[in-house]
Amino acid sequence: MDGGHVIAETLETAGTDAVFTLCGGHVMNIYDGCIDRDIPVIDTRHEQAAVMAADGVARLTGNPGVAIVTAGPGVTNAVTGFENANRCDSPVVTMGGQGPLENIDKGSLQETDHLSFVKGVTRWSRRVHDTQRLGEYVERAFRQATKLPTGPTYLELPWDVLFGDTATKPPTSVRTRPVRSLADPDAVQEAIDTLESAERPVLVASGGVRWGKAVGAVRDFAKLTRIPSYQNGLGRGTFPSTFESAFHLTRGSAFKRADVVVNLTMPWDFRTGFGEKVADDATIIQVSESAERAGENKAVDIPLVGHPGAIMEQLLQEAKSREFPDWSEWYATIEEKEAEKMATYRDVPDAKDGVSAITLIDHLAPFVEDGTPFIGDGGNIVASAAKVLRPTEPENWLDTGPFGCLGVGPPFAIASNVVRPDKVPLVLEGDGSFGLNGMEIETLARHGMGAVFVVANDAAWNQIRVPQLQYYGPDRAVATGLDFTRYDAIAEGMGAKGVLVREEGALEGALEEAFKAAGDGVPAVVNVELDPETNAGTGGYPA
């Protein structure tokens, strides 16, 4: 076999759902190997989108997603995708081309020092120097991507190494899941002891709950203890709207009053004021994938380090033999705050022109509550949607993540089609974010992939424009205004279905029309004229 076929056979052993790429001569023999092994090759219009689609597969399945990019600009274009995966602990394996080893530093076509600039945005990166070791290094890239904490890896493949012949057999097994390491049993017992004596405890579930396949154990733990519970980031969907002890709008105020905080892998980043939103005298119990992360930005009293799924099973087992207090008074306090928050959120003016943000979101809610996969790709509109929409499962919610990386909508929709072809994803787009990877609508159409894109078109980068107007006034508001673009017409030109909505009364019919087209494998773009005054605030900028 040549090197490309060795790699393809290794990917087959790993159970790879698909590879995402933008074609390049440096890596084309990998495609040939994938054809022989029935691994779908999904070609995108930008390398950033290829890596983001691989990231989407990882977030949806928990297994590494795979991207293949050519040398030079292929790798540089992929860097944003690397860091977006990095911030979300997403195990993405990317392989990139390079000129022949014998010509390194001579100026081969598209040659550049890839390893230097991918080092900061991946967990592990290497160059392969010997064709006989290609399978070994691909297996290692998977292993490094799935060690705790999980994350993206990069493998550079020089032309002569990749196209060389080898008689070395590919690996017979490839790790695609983290090792299930347990926490210190004494720390687990101390955590439950602390919770048993708590008066105002709260729990928050974040991304590690998804990576650790811990959703069932977290739900059982919350039901057993009846601890007031919140969700964050990739943990969203751990607690559906019907979950008795789940709350959604009051995490900050609950943190300020809590005497015990059970943090399930949530980083103490800008979303918690870097830990400053938590009461100073609260006891912090934190599940972390590494000792380094336990206590980052916020001192932790009881660190539980290891595999989140395994640790949750430890906590659940220990909790089964305990008696927990009646926290009904604490519940009542939170419930009152929740009602106040929702009332404030919904106290917004009616739209003067077009459709209001809350009206648009309310029209999407029934789809999300019915189990439709939701993808959020935008600023204000997605932040607002997160306050209202309640996904039924974690895999039914994907968004930009803590990196705040716009453009994920179309690539994530591609990923959803690959791993969940029986479900049509619903993508809520800001008009600004749609411009970043909007050409991937053509990718979806070309591959017969259905998805419904709802563009909240307020003709502005409104998350930045609103504070800009407040700080500097309309005469100095620059670089944040957009024209009302006919994204529906652009979609039609790419082989998709386009629908224009300028008033609320047309929304229901437009969504019905869009889902019908998407069900037939045709992506649909519903371009909604949004009143910018109703899409004005998230409360989170700047951070």
- Side chain identity at 162, as an amino acid letter? L
Decide if 445 is inside a domain: yes
The predicted pLDDT at position 539 comes to 44
DSSP 8-class letter at 96: E
Asked if residue 449 and residue 365 are part of one domain, the reply reads yes
Asked if residue 371 and residue 501 are part of one domain, the reply reads yes
CATH code of residue 329: 3.40.50.1220
Give residues with Cβ within 8 angstroms of 123, minimum separation 6. 86, 144, 145, 147, 149, 150, 151, 152, 153
- Tell me the mean pLDDT in the region 297-302: 95
Asked if residue 288 and residue 193 are part of one domain, the reply reads yes
Residue pair 392/240 in contact (Cβ under 8 Å)? The answer is: yes
The predicted pLDDT at position 538 comes to 58
Decide if 167 is inside a domain: no
Decide if 54 is inside a domain: yes
Q: How far apart are CA 320 and CA 518, in angstroms?
A: 46
Residue pair 21/53 in contact (Cβ under 8 Å)? The answer is: no
Alpha helix ranges (H) inside 373-484: 380-388, 409-419, 431-437, 440-446, 462-472
Asked if residue 87 and residue 44 are part of one domain, the reply reads yes
Q: How far apart are CA 397 and CA 210, in angstroms?
A: 11
Decide if 446 is inside a domain: yes
Give residues with Cβ within 8 angstroms of 98, minimum separation 6. 26, 71, 104, 108, 111, 114, 127, 156, 157, 158, 159
**Chosen domain end from 116, 131, 162:** 162
DSSP collapsed to 3 states, 501-527? ECCHHHHHHHHHHHHHHHHCCCCEEEE
pLDDT above 90: residue 298: yes
Decide if 277 is inside a domain: yes
Asked if residue 303 and residue 250 are part of one domain, the reply reads yes
Residue pair 289/89 in contact (Cβ under 8 Å)? The answer is: yes
Asked if residue 197 and residue 67 are part of one domain, the reply reads no
Domain that holds residue 80: 3-162
Residue pair 293/267 in contact (Cβ under 8 Å)? The answer is: yes
The predicted pLDDT at position 344 comes to 86
pLDDT digits 0-9 by tens, 335-388: 999 999 988 888 888 899 999 999 999 999 999 999 999 999 999 999 999 999
pLDDT above 70: residue 315: yes
Tell whether the torsion through CA atoms of 218, 221, 226 and 228 is positive or negative. Answer: negative
Asked if residue 226 and residue 271 are part of one domain, the reply reads yes
Which structure tokens are listed for 190? Answer: 């101390």
The predicted pLDDT at position 189 comes to 98
* Residue found under tokens 């160059």: 127
Residue pair 66/11 in contact (Cβ under 8 Å)? The answer is: yes
The predicted pLDDT at position 540 comes to 42
Q: How far apart are CA 438 and CA 443, in angstroms?
A: 10
Which structure tokens are listed for 76? Answer: 């540089």
Decide if 180 is inside a domain: no
pLDDT above 90: residue 543: no
Asked if residue 404 and residue 287 are part of one domain, the reply reads no
Q: How far apart are CA 267 and CA 248, in angstroms?
A: 18
Asked if residue 318 and residue 376 are part of one domain, the reply reads no
- Tell me the mean pLDDT in the region 520-530: 98
DSSP-derived secondary structure for 289-302: SSTTTTTSSS--SE
pLDDT above 60: residue 30: yes
Asked if residue 359 and residue 508 are part of one domain, the reply reads yes
Domain count, the chain: 3
Decide if 456 is inside a domain: yes
- Tell me the mean pLDDT in the region 319-336: 95
Decide if 116 is inside a domain: yes
Asked if residue 507 and residue 374 are part of one domain, the reply reads yes
Q: Taking Cα atoms as reference points, which of 207, 398, 28 lies closest to residue 218? A: 207
The mean predicted confidence, pLDDT, of the chain is 95
DSSP 8-class letter at 261: E
Residue pair 3/166 in contact (Cβ under 8 Å)? The answer is: yes
Asked if residue 224 and residue 153 are part of one domain, the reply reads no
